[in-house]
């Protein structure tokens, strides 16, 4: 067992952005040190253990630290579980460790089952080759497993994080995460783990990647008048993910090569080819039909979440004014072209459905336009 400690990431107390730390297994607790300073001691009494991250990369340990604040540790080295058993951790802890190991094994088996799905995909693809390329592309997308979508989105998100800092200001993130939580609750069950990041960029833009990775620029928040306008944008972006618009556009661009791989039976190349071509997802334009679909279903989500349905329309008006004053097209309009028809359709929908019961937002939206506090992170799945 390790005596020099395990490497971990500590969130809280006083470390909301995550601190690299050394983790030590004690007889009655887990101890986290940053340098030589003890930052958290999580007692076995009340500790909660789970797995998080892509492919359940981390063991997550949560509990109350010595100062009474909530502490959260992520450790990738699974030897720590055996170490905790060896030092005599109580049954309440070892039961959780066994449950975590069982959960990870079950999920791993589920990932292997993707290969069985591939066999069915190949049969569908080969048949559809006889029926026309356009229809074949649509059918291929329908058979892409959610695991592939997450990997494709994660690959694109990694590229975004290499190029941009994200905003870590607590007030700004609290306001945006409140909107995200309301919308995710309105969605119900989905196969994605939704992550919303604020990019330190003054351009007015927002985009969503396959698998639930959503990015919104600081500039969009600064140009908005209230949280309901931003909620309308986010609800629209969520629908691009749920209706798999990004994947459909990718397959339309590179679908012929995917079909060639399918015909020759090289299934491993299909996923790697999609992931390898994910870099352009953030700059892809959507079709008129895709924009309408995202508008209408996004509005339905706004109603379910108890948010103001005129938010997206009012934000489109803000963009139209900016375009008229400066003569420059806001970045978001290059990938999400606006039109009078779209605005008219949204207005007609609100008139037909009426005003929902709007539950107020708790965040102080005036504080959102404060300091961004840019930081660089590497892991798109980092809490």
pLDDT digits (tens, 9 = 90+) for 300-324: 999 999 999 999 888 888 777 765 5
Q: Which residues, including other chains, have CB under 8 Å from residue 113's CB and lie 6 or more apart?
A: none
Report yes or no: 282 and 207 within 8 Å, Cβ to Cβ.
yes
pLDDT value of residue 329: 45
pLDDT value of residue 375: 95
Q: Which residues, including other chains, have CB under 8 Å from residue 325's CB and lie 6 or more apart?
A: none
Global pTM value? 0.60
Report how far apart, in Å, the C-alpha atoms of 209 and of each of 197, 241, 248, 271 are: 12, 7, 12, 16
Instruction: Identify the segments of the chain with pLDDT beneath 70.
Output: 1, 13-17, 65-67, 106-143, 253-284, 322-341
pLDDT value of residue 212: 93
Asked, as a colleague might, if the bond just before 13 is cis with ω within 30 of 0, I would say: yes
pLDDT value of residue 246: 83
pLDDT value of residue 328: 44
In the block, residue with structure tokens 């010595």: 66
- In 3D space, the residue among 14, 67, 18, 11 whose CA is nearest the CA of residue 43 turns out to be 67
Report yes or no: 297 and 242 within 8 Å, Cβ to Cβ.
yes
pLDDT value of residue 327: 42
In the block, residue with structure tokens 């334009």: 285
> What residues pair up with 75 in beta bridges, in sequence order?
8, 59
pLDDT value of residue 303: 94
How many residues in total does the chain contain? 383
pLDDT value of residue 124: 61
**Count of CA atoms in the C-beta half-sphere (13 A) of 174:** 14
Q: Which two tokens stand for residue 355?
A: 């005003």
Question: Regarding the domain delimited by 6-111, which CATH topology (the fold level of the hierarchy) does it fall under?
Answer: PH-domain like (2.30.29)
What's CA 354's distance to the chain center, in Å?
Answer: 31
Report how far apart, in Å, the C-alpha atoms of 177 and of each of 65, 201, 338, 383 are: 25, 18, 26, 12
pLDDT value of residue 64: 78
pLDDT value of residue 199: 95
Query: Positive or negative, the Cα torsion across 165, 163, 220, 207?
Result: negative
- Domain spans in the chain, listed from the N-terminal domain onward: 6-111, 114-375
Q: Which two tokens stand for residue 218?
A: 């600081």
pLDDT value of residue 130: 45
Three state DSSP letters for the chain: CCCCCEEEEEECCCCCCCEEEEEEECCCEEEEEECCEEEEEEECCCCEEEEECHHHCEEEEEEECCCCCEEEEEECCCHHHHHHHHCCCCHHHHHHHHHHHHHHHHHHHHHHCHHHHHHHHHHHHHHHHCCCHHHHHHHHHHHCCHHHHHHHHHHHHHHHHHHCCEECCHHHHHHHHHHHHHHHHHHCCCCCCCEEEEECCCCCCEEEECCCEEEEEHHHHHHCCCHHHHHHHHHHHHHHHHCCHHHHHHHHHHHHHHHHHHHHCCHHHHHHHHHHCHHHHHHCCCCHHHHHHHHHHHHHHHHHCCCCCCHHHHHHHHHHHHHHHHCCCCHHHHHCCCCHHHHHHHHHHHHHHCCCCCCCCCCCHHHHCCCCCEECCCCCCCC
Report yes or no: 6 and 75 within 8 Å, Cβ to Cβ.
yes
């Amino acid at each position: 067992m390790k005596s020099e400690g395990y490497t971990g990431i500590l969130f809280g107390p006083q470390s909301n952005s995550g601190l690299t730390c050394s983790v030590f297994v004690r007889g009655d607790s887990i101890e986290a040190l940053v340098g030589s300073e003890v930052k958290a001691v999580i007692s076995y009494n009340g500790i909660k253990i789970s797995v998080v991250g892509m492919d359940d990369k981390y063991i997550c340990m949560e509990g109350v630290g010595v100062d009474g604040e909530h502490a959260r540790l992520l450790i990738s080295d699974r030897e720590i579980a055996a170490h905790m058993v060896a030092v005599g951790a109580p049954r309440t802890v070892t039961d959780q460790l066994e449950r975590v190991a069982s959960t990870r094994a079950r999920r791993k088996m589920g990932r292997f089952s993707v290969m069985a799905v591939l066999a069915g995909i190949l049969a569908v693809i080969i048949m559809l080759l006889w029926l026309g390329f356009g229809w074949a592309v649509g059918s291929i997308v329908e058979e892409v497993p959610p695991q592939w979508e997450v990997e494709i989105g994660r690959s694109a998100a990694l590229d975004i994080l290499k190029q941009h800092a994200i905003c870590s200001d607590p007030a700004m993130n609290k306001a945006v995460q409140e909107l995200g939580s309301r919308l995710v609750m309105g969605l119900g069950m989905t196969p994605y783990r939704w992550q919303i990041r604020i990019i330190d960029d003054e351009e007015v833009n927002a985009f969503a990647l396959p698998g639930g990775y959503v990015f919104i620029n600081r500039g969009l928040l600064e140009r908005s008048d209230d949280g309901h306008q931003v909620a309308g944008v986010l609800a629209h972006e969520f629908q691009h993910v749920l209706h798999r618009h990004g994947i459909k556009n990718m397959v339309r661009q590179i679908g012929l090569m995917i079909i060639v791989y399918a015909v020759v039976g090289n299934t491993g190349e299909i996923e790697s080819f999609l992931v390898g071509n994910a870099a352009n997802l953030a700059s892809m334009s959507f079709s008129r039909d895709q924009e309408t679909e995202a508008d209408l279903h996004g509005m339905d989500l706004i109603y379910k979440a108890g948010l103001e349905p005129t938010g997206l329309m009012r934000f489109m008006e803000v963009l139209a004014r900016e375009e008229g004053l400066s003569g420059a097209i806001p970045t978001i309009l290059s990938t999400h072209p606006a039109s009078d028809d779209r605005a008219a359709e949204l207005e007609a929908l609100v008139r037909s459905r009426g005003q929902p019961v709007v539950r107020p937002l708790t965040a102080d939206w005036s504080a959102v336009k404060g300091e961004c506090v840019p930081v660089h992170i590497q892991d798109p799945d980092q809490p």
